[in-house]
């Protein structure tokens, strides 16, 4: 029999997850008003909420405490807003794509990620993401902070949209067991560097932006290596 405090804890975790939607809406307002540094700060806050609500949900055993409420569905709704809609709106508002192709390229992340979020294999039982895990917030961040060319941004957006649909396994930070301590440690250092870059916007240190790319590179190499190792084992 569930105790009242367990239900209170469960609803508290779900409220934390839902607060990510409030943060996402605030980011959209900030983007509309041209307050890009504040918008990225909001995106970072959304990532932090997403990083802690899962472990808290497992700790509070929310599925047992609140069996009639689907926290996974709530999490997906909030993640689609913060990882897809908000950064796509940012890319549009900040004019990070060539105007001549922006209208047909920007729907691609929205459509590809909508498909992947709803696919049963989006998250695997062995704790991987299937397909590029819709880190559009990270791409928007580096397009803006790195001052990359508009045509590079366009090409990479198309490429990443395609990779969302390609069934390659990507590391689930914090849950994929292989090298998990290293992944988490590097991820924390990367998070600190991202916050420093956000603080320096709109003209961050170019060297800091470059060095911060080490973690995304590590993440990509590890994901591809583990995918091919698992595939060679027939998994």
127-156 tens-digit pLDDT: 999 999 999 999 999 999 999 999 999 999
Q: How many CB atoms lie within 10 A of CB 125?
A: 6
CB half-sphere exposure, 165, CA atoms < 13 A:
11
Q: How many CB atoms lie within 10 A of CB 133?
A: 24
Looking at the fold, whether 200 and 231 belong to one and the same domain comes out as yes
- H or E stretch at 171: strand 169-171
* Residue 53 structural domain: 1-94
Looking at the fold, whether 162 and 79 belong to one and the same domain comes out as no
Q: Give the integer Cα–Cα distance in Å for 68 and 74.
A: 13
Residue 195's nearest CA partner among 186, 204, 184, 183 is: 204
How many distinct structural domains can be found in the chain? 2
Q: Give the integer Cα–Cα distance in Å for 211 and 25.
A: 31
Looking at the fold, whether 165 and 197 belong to one and the same domain comes out as yes
Looking at the fold, whether 140 and 187 belong to one and the same domain comes out as yes
Coil/strand/helix, residue 149: coil
Looking at the fold, whether 209 and 138 belong to one and the same domain comes out as yes
Looking at the fold, whether 74 and 131 belong to one and the same domain comes out as no
Looking at the fold, whether 111 and 223 belong to one and the same domain comes out as yes
Residue with tokens 């809406």: 25
Question: What does the mean pLDDT of the chain come to?
Answer: 95
| pLDDT above 90: residue 232 | no
3-class DSSP string for 114-129: HHHHHCCCCECCCCEE
Q: Give the integer Cα–Cα distance in Å for 36 and 67.
A: 40
| pLDDT above 60: residue 1 | no
- H or E stretch at 216: helix 214-232
pLDDT at 149: 98
Looking at the fold, whether 152 and 206 belong to one and the same domain comes out as yes
Kindly report, residue by residue over 53-109, the tens digit of the pLDDT: 999 999 888 998 899 999 999 999 999 999 999 999 999 999 999 999 999 999 999
**Domain closes at, from 60, 94, 128:** 94
Residue with tokens 């695997």: 124
Looking at the fold, whether 125 and 224 belong to one and the same domain comes out as yes
| pLDDT above 80: residue 41 | yes
């Amino acid at each position: 029999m569930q105790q009242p405090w367990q239900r209170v804890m469960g609803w508290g975790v779900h409220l934390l997850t839902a607060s990510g939607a409030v943060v996402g809406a605030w980011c959209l307002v900030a983007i509309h008003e041209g307050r890009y540094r504040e918008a990225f700060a909001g995106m970072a806050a959304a990532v932090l909420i997403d990083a802690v609500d899962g472990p808290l949900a497992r700790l509070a055993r929310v599925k047992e405490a609140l069996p009639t409420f689907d926290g996974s569905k709530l999490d997906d709704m909030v993640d689609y807003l913060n990882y897809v809609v908000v950064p796509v709106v940012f890319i549009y508002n900040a004019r990070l794509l060539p105007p001549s192709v922006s209208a047909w390229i920007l729907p691609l992340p929205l459509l590809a990620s909508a498909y992947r979020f709803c696919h049963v294999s989006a998250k695997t039982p062995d704790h991987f993401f299937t397909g590029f895990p819709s880190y559009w917030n990270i791409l928007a961040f580096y397009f803006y902070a790195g001052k990359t060319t508009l045509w590079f941004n366009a090409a990479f957006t198309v490429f990443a949209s395609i990779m969302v649909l390609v069934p390659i396994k990507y590391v689930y930070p914090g849950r994929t067991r292989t090298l998990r301590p290293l992944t988490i440690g590097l991820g924390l250092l990367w998070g600190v560097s991202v916050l420093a870059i956000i603080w320096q916007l709109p003209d961050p240190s170019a060297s800091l932006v470059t060095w911060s790319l080490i973690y995304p590179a590590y993440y990509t190499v590890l994901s591809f290596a583990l995918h091919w190792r698992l595939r060679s084992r027939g998994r």
